[in-house]
Every structure is written in C-alpha cells, then in structure tokens.
C-alpha cells in the first residue's frame, strides 16, 4: 500500500502548528517573581542572622572550611534569585528588542 504524499503546503502548515510558541499563563510571571523575592529575602535573613549570632569561638571556628557551607549556600541562593529578578525586570522593560536589547539592559542595570 502506498502512503499518501503530503503536499509541501500541508507539511509547512503542520510544522507551523507544531512549532507555534505557547504563551505561559499570566500568573506564572507574578508567582515566579514572588518566589524569587522570597528566596532572596530568606537568604538575606539567614546571612544577617548568622552574622549577628557569631560568638568569639564561632569566629575562630570559621577558619575551618567545613563551617562555611551554610553562609555560602545562603549567599549563592540569594545571588542567583536576585540575578534572576534583575533579568526578569530587564526583559520586561526590553520585551521587543531581542537578545541584544536584553544584554544592553543588563549592562545598564549593573553599571
């Protein structure tokens, strides 16, 4: 049995339908920003609490790298979440300019 041949127009239409971008739900952006803000705040609180609670013996204990895990993890989470928030805001402001506009916006936000 022979298979039906697809016309090029049919193939193009099928590909266009399959590769059409899907817009995320409206609430997704707000929820993502809220979650990143909470992570940034929690990391800042953890670092603040950790620094305020250090006693003299704990300061001496910091010479051991095994005691650095908690503050380094908090700094990393806060840094990543804060950076993601900046990128989201820059992208929102530069929506139609593509990657070049995004890169320029990041440079302006940092510098």
Domain-wise residue ranges, the chain: 28-110
Query: Above 80 in pLDDT, residue 76?
Result: yes
Which CA distances in Å does 5 have to 13, 20, 39, 97?
14, 23, 54, 41
- Which is more confidently placed, 74 or 20? 74
For 87-103, b where at least 16 C-beta lie within 10 A, e where not — what string? eeebeeebeeeeeeebe
Kindly state the percentage of the chain with pLDDT values over 90. Answer: 5
Q: Which H helix or E strand runs over 76?
A: helix 69-93
Structure token digits, residue 78: 């806060």
pTM over 0.85: no
């Amino acid at each position: 049995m022979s298979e039906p041949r697809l016309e090029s127009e049919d193939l193009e239409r099928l590909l266009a339908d399959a590769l059409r971008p899907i817009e995320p739900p409206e609430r997704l952006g707000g929820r993502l920003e809220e979650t990143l803000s909470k992570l940034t705040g929690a990391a800042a609180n953890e670092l603040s609490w950790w620094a305020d609670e250090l006693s003299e013996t704990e300061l001496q204990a910091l010479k051991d790298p095994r005691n650095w895990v908690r503050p380094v993890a908090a700094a990393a989470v806060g840094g990543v979440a804060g950076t993601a928030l900046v990128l989201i805001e820059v992208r929102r402001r530069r929506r139609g300019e593509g990657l070049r506009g995004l890169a320029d916006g990041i440079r302006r936000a940092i510098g």
